[in-house]
């Protein structure tokens, strides 16, 4: 008995393509061989150097070298580029190993077919076979490549950054090198007063904000929907359209407008206060009132969304439930408490959790309205209304404290992930996805 499969398999392990050649699939074999040669050359010449660079992050920063009589500035290693190139190289090596694995599998599979006495496929046929059997992966190829390079890679880079000392003013390449420092950044964030005070202060406000913003918009939305849906209210469509306007206006426009409306000196809101002889309030410059302002403005933006959802749900409540209740002599209040409310709450509960997670990361409302302000001396690079996510923004783009920012980012991820896992594992559509069909 011929042991094609085993021979082909081992030949392919030895070098990509050999097994295919042994199976007399010349074109495929040649292509695999070519990939192999390219891969090996790349790895030995370029990639290994980059991967080594990923671990060392450079040996020498920018420094002076004596040339003749004068000192000249010589560019040193750029740690951050080294890290990114290292990551990219590791990824290319992984892809190479994946192709290697596929090559062995292919050789064995074709060897088996020969053992059974079937003819192996021609090149065109294998392509056609591949396309038909891996159609979903074929469609997904472009999105996956895009996500790989513009989402996964950057996130990995960011995660690694949290374990380095990449921050202003001492460790900014190309002038200086960046080094791996392990968990030091996290330790500082939790224990060093400069960071921990800000971190815990901002974290507390983030959670308070997320709860208040979610609850106010949720119940506000339900109330408005019920208000419109009451018996005897006319022009229901008109009210609905009117109330949906805040949702339709681009958020960054309405928020910037709001910021001007709440202006202490010239804004119309305080102008009305003065008209009634009142002093007006420091809407955005006082820590307490700034917090009130962001929550109220957020209601203005968020209520329409819940309202629309709830109005949809209200129409889907079976009418016979109400009819049955009327037969039993239920008052409107009883009907509302025992039919409407449970129905609405039950079908909107999942949204509550998504909105909560969304509000933790609600960058726009805070940043456009107060920019995190008013600033405070208690906080390091943050203001009184800053959320973790806006603090993250300030840390990276305004202060170049990249490692702290990355650590904060990882912590935000942990918070969001725990909230989401809690909800996803409980959501019906995740567990019973295939039941609909």
Residues in 215-244 at the binding interface with another protein, rule: CB under 8 A:
224, 227-228, 230, 232-233, 239, 241-244
Please list every residue from 245 through 264 that binds another protein, using CB under 8 A.
245-254, 256-261, 263
List for the chain the helix, strand, coil content (%; round to 5). 70, 5, 25
- Cβ 239 vs Cβ 381: under 8 Å: no
Residue 152 as a binder of another protein (CB under 8 A): the answer is: yes
Residues in region 337-356 near another protein by CB under 8 A: 348, 350-351, 354
Q: Are 228 and 311 in contact (CB under 8 A)?
A: yes
**Binding region for another protein (CB under 8 A) out of 4-12, 38-46, 202-210, 425-433:** 425-433
Number of helices (H) and strands (E), helices first, in the chain? 21, 2
- CB nearer to another protein: give 79 or 380: 79
CB of 417 to another protein, least distance (A): 5
3-state secondary structure of 308: helix
Q: Using CB under 8 A, which of the segments 8-16, 63-71, 135-143, 287-295 binds another protein? A: 135-143
Six token digits for residue 176: 């200086």
CA atoms of 56 and 49, how far apart (whole Å):
11
What tokens were used for 60? Answer: 């020498």
Number of residues that bind another protein (CB under 8 A): 97
Binder to another protein among 26, 55, 101, 135 (CB under 8 A)? 135
Under rule CB under 8 A, which residues in 26-55 are in contact with another protein? none
Applying the rule CB under 8 A, the residues between 62 and 101 that interact with another protein are 80-81, 84
The packing angle between helices 287-315 and 236-248, to 10°, is: 130
Interactions with another protein, residue window 391-420 (CB under 8 A): 392-393, 396-397, 402, 405-406, 409, 412-413, 416-417, 420
Query: Smallest gap, in angstroms, from Cβ of residue 14 to another protein?
Result: 27
| Nearer to another protein among residue 25 and residue 298 (C-beta) | 298
Least separation in angstroms between residue 89's CB and another protein is 14
- Angstrom distances, CA of residue 194 to CA of 362, 372, 397: 25, 18, 19
List the x/- string, 181-220, binding to another protein by CB under 8 A. ----------------------------------------
Distances (CA, A) of 21 to 29, 41, 121: 5, 21, 13
Q: Which is nearer to another protein, 101 or 252 (CB)?
A: 252
Choices 5-13, 64-72, 132-140, 203-211 (CB under 8 A): range interacting with another protein: 132-140
Work out the widest C-alpha separation in the chain, in whole angstroms. Answer: 105
Which of 136, 328, 398, 432 binds another protein (CB under 8 A)? It is 136
State which of positions 291-310 bind another protein (CB under 8 A). Answer: 300, 304-305, 308-309
Q: Which is nearer to another protein, 296 or 324 (CB)?
A: 296
Question: Torsions phi, psi of 295, nearest 5?
Answer: -70, -40
C-alpha distances out from residue 7 to 15, 84, 131, 166, 241, Å: 12, 40, 27, 51, 73
Q: List 383's β-bridge partners, or say none.
A: 375
The rounded distance, in Å, linking the Cα atoms of 293 and 240 is 25
């Amino acid at each position: 008995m011929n042991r094609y499969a085993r021979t082909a398999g081992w030949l392919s392990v030895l070098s990509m393509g050999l097994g295919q050649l042994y199976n007399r699939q010349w074109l495929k074999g040649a292509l695999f061989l070519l990939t192999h040669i390219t891969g090996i050359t790349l790895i030995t010449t370029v990639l290994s150097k980059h991967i080594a660079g990923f671990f060392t992050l450079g040996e020498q920063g920018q420094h002076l070298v004596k040339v003749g009589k004068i000192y000249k500035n010589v560019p040193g290693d750029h740690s951050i580029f080294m890290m990114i190139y290292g990551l990219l190289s590791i990824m290319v090596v992984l892809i190479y190993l994946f192709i290697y694995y596929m090559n062995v599998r292919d050789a064995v599979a074709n060897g088996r077919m020969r053992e059974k006495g079937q003819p192996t496929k021609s090149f065109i046929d294998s392509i056609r076979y591949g396309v038909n059997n891996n159609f979903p992966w074929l469609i997904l190829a472009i999105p996956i490549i895009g996500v790989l390079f513009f989402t996964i890679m950057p996130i990995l880079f960011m995660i690694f950054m949290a374990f380095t000392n990449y921050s202003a003013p001492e460790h900014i390449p190309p002038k200086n090198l960046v080094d791996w420092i392990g968990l030091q950044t996290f330790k500082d964030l939790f224990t060093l007063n400069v960071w921990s005070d800000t971190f815990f202060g901002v974290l507390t406000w983030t959670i308070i904000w997320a709860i208040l913003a979610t609850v106010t918009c949720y119940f506000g939305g339900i109330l408005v929907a019920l208000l419109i849906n009451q018996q005897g209210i006319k022009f229901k469509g008109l009210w609905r359209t009117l109330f949906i306007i805040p949702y339709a206006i681009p958020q960054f426009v309405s928020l910037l407008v709001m910021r001007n409306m709440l202006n202490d000196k010239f804004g119309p809101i305080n102008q009305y206060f003065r008209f009634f002889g009142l002093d007006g309030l420091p809407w955005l410059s006082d820590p307490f009132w700034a917090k009130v302002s962001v929550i109220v403005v957020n209601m203005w933006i968020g209520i329409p969304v819940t309202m629309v959802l709830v109005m949809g749900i209200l129409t889907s409540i079976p009418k016979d439930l109400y009819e049955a209740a009327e037969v039993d002599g239920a008052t409107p209040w009883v009907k509302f408490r025992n039919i409407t409310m449970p129905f609405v709450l039950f079908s909107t509960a999942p949204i509550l959790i998504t909105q909560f997670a969304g509000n933790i990361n609600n960058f726009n409302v805070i940043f456009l309205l107060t920019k995190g302000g008013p600033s405070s001396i208690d906080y390091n690079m943050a203001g009184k209304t800053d959320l973790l996510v806006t603090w993250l923004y300030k840390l990276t783009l305004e202060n170049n404290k990249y490692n702290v920012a990355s650590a904060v980012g990882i912590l935000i991820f942990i918070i969001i992930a725990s909230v989401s896992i809690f909800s996803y594992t409980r959501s019906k559509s995740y567990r019973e996805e295939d039941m609909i069909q």
